[in-house]
Amino acid sequence: MGPERISEAEHAVMEVLWDRGTLSAADVCDEICDNRGWSLPTVKTLLSRLVQKQAISARPDGRRFLYSALMARSEYVGGESRRLVDRLFGGKAASLVAHLAESEALSENDLAEIEALLKELKQ
């Protein structure tokens, strides 16, 4: 079934690991602490939670740990997308697209891309 749901803060840590690969807690903090107003202990707490949720691995490296994503970004996006469609649109992806189109959240370019994707999926 995959890891438990991850919070928005945990997701920010995952993005760093997906973008940069294997890192120490200090490396992760260097990437996001200033922008988010976090400290190194905050990052370590988030990393620990992600290890418990089996979203990342931790391996000893001297006196520190190195963290790596166990879940691919595409796996996470797919799961979150499915949950969104299930929760808000009764499991019907077409209802999501209709809502976006009706609320003018889709540009002509977006619509063209969706149309091309649908043609590709039909083949």
Q: How far apart are CA 121 and CA 123, in angstroms?
A: 6
- Asked if 28 and 64 sit in the same domain, the reply is yes
Q: How many domains does the chain have?
A: 2
For residue 60, the cross-strand partners are: 65
Contact in structure between 29 and 23 (CB atoms under 8 Å): no
Q: With respect to residue 25, please indicate whether it lies within any of the assigned structural domains.
A: yes
Would you say residue 3 lies in a domain?
A: no
Per-residue pLDDT of 62-120, as tens digits, reads 999 999 999 999 988 888 888 888 888 888 888 888 888 888 878 888 888 888 888 88
Joined tokens for residue 89: 């649109």
Same domain, yes or no: 101 and 82: yes
For residue 3, the model assigns a pLDDT of: 55
Q: Give 79 or 1, the one with higher predicted confidence.
A: 79
Helix/strand/coil for 57? strand
Of 62, 101, 74, 59, the closest CA to residue 14 belongs to 74
Domain range for 12: 8-69
Task: Tell whether 40 and 13 lie within a shared domain.
Answer: yes
Q: Percent of the chain scored above 70 by pLDDT?
A: 98
Q: Across-strand partners of 65?
A: 60
Taking the chain, what is the end-to-end CA distance rounded to the nearest angstrom? 29
Where do runs of H (alpha helix) occur along the chain? 8-20, 25-36, 40-52, 73-89, 93-102, 108-122
Q: How much is the pTM?
A: 0.75
